[in-house]
Amino acid sequence: MSVAAKTVSDVIHSHLGVLTRAERQLAESLLDNYPVSGLGSITTIAENAGVSTPTVVRMVQKLGYKGYPDFQQHLHQEVEATISNPIAKHDRWAQNAPGTHILNRFADAIMGNLRQTLTDLDTATFDNVAALLSDRKRTLYFVGGRITGALAEYFFTHMQVIRPNTALLSSNSSSWPQYVLNMNPGDLLIIFDIRRYEQEMASLATAARKRGAEIIVFTDQWGSPAAKLARHAFRVQIEAPSAWDSSVVTLFIVEALIEAVQNSTWDETKERMKTLEGLFEQTRLFRKPG
């Protein structure tokens, strides 16, 4: 049953080492555009891979299948599994029935946003930002607007556990000047500014820059004015079938950054988290003696 449990892709990968040249060539052809490339007849896939049909037979038998039909049947099952998930299923509904349930329309939009955002996003930018956030000498200031304030808070709450020197600016701008006053060169100001850009964000960014702070902006595809002042900007797709913009993808990037930072300084973070657990425990005991 070892074959049945794993995906065909897994099986191919685990056998890559024992494949011959022509077989590897075939394997790569199959994995490229997997699993659709394996849908046709043995003749077709042999031609696509530029090998002979006996090579195909030999390889699938080497992989543990009884023959090509057996191999293909496994592939069909995988295609079915892939295609029968709710999201893929939705894509098919969507073509035929535009008015499906809102959950599906949302899922569709979010997938598109995520894909587009990841396509546009340079991993180097991500890595650079993660490195900046990991630098404990830099104090982190988080700020968001009316809607995005919750994202800033979410990011802040995690970073506060992971590292020292973090601050959350209220979304009310009246308290900002005092924070700016304390900023030192190299500090980071992380701004969330999604459309209906708040003019004050750009002012804040300018003030922070004057104090020598670096600026990181999370904005939408059109770009906050604050993004022009930023060292790094994340342009996130935010469109949803809704009167509101979607923050799901922004949160996605925030979570990925949290993990990247945590990972790069795991030893220190681990200690901090342990200490924090202890403090929580104490608070609890303090509140409820007995």
Partner DNA sequence: ACTGTCATGAAAAGAAATTTTCAGAGCGAG
Partner DNA sequence: CTCGCTCTGAAAATTTCTTTTCATGACAGT
Q: Which residues of this chain interact with its own copies, rule CB under 8 A?
A: 7, 9-10, 13, 31, 33-36, 39-40, 76, 79-80, 82-88, 90-92, 95-96, 101-104, 106-107, 110-112, 114-115, 118-119, 121, 123, 126, 146-147, 149-151, 153-154, 157-158, 240-244, 246-248, 251-253, 255-256, 258-260, 262-263, 273
Shortest separation between residue 286's beta carbon and its own copies, angstroms = 13
Verify binding: residue 20, DNA, rule CB under 7 A: yes
CB of 22 or CB of 227, closer to DNA: 22
CB of 213 or CB of 234, closer to its own copies: 234
Cα 226-227-233 angle, rounded to 5 deg: 140
Verify binding: residue 69, DNA, rule CB under 7 A: yes
Closest CA to 136 of 157, 181, 166, 180: 166
Per the DSSP assignment, residues forming a β-bridge with 142 are 168, 190
Shortest separation between residue 252's beta carbon and DNA, angstroms = 42
Verify binding: residue 177, DNA, rule CB under 7 A: no
**Cα R_g (the chain), whole angstroms:** 26
CB of 43 or CB of 199, closer to DNA: 43
How far, in Å, CA of 269 to CA of 255, rounded?
16
Give the burial class of 53: count Cβ atoms within 10 A of its Cβ; 0-12 exposed, 13-18 middle, 19 or more buried: middle
Longest distance between any two alpha carbons in the chain, whole Å: 78
Shortest separation between residue 64's beta carbon and its own copies, angstroms = 18
Shortest separation between residue 95's beta carbon and DNA, angstroms = 25
Q: What beta strand segments (E) does 221-285 contain? A: 232-236
* Dihedral angle, C-alpha 153, 159, 160, 163, nearest 10 °: -160
Verify binding: residue 142, DNA, rule CB under 7 A: no
Shortest separation between residue 153's beta carbon and its own copies, angstroms = 4
Residue 212: contacted member of DNA, its own copies, none (CB under 5 to 8 Å, by partner type) = none
Verify binding: residue 55, DNA, rule CB under 7 A: yes
* Dihedral angle, C-alpha 173, 178, 181, 183, nearest 10 °: -70
| Binding-residue total with DNA (CB under 7 A) | 25
Shortest separation between residue 8's beta carbon and DNA, angstroms = 15
The answer to whether the bond into 35 is cis (omega within 30° of 0) is yes
Residue 66: contacted member of its own copies, DNA, none (CB under 5 to 8 Å, by partner type) = DNA
Residue 68: contacted member of its own copies, DNA, none (CB under 5 to 8 Å, by partner type) = DNA
CB of 60 or CB of 109, closer to its own copies: 109
How far, in Å, CA of 208 to CA of 140, rounded?
12
Half-sphere exposure of 253 (CA within 13 A, CB side): 32
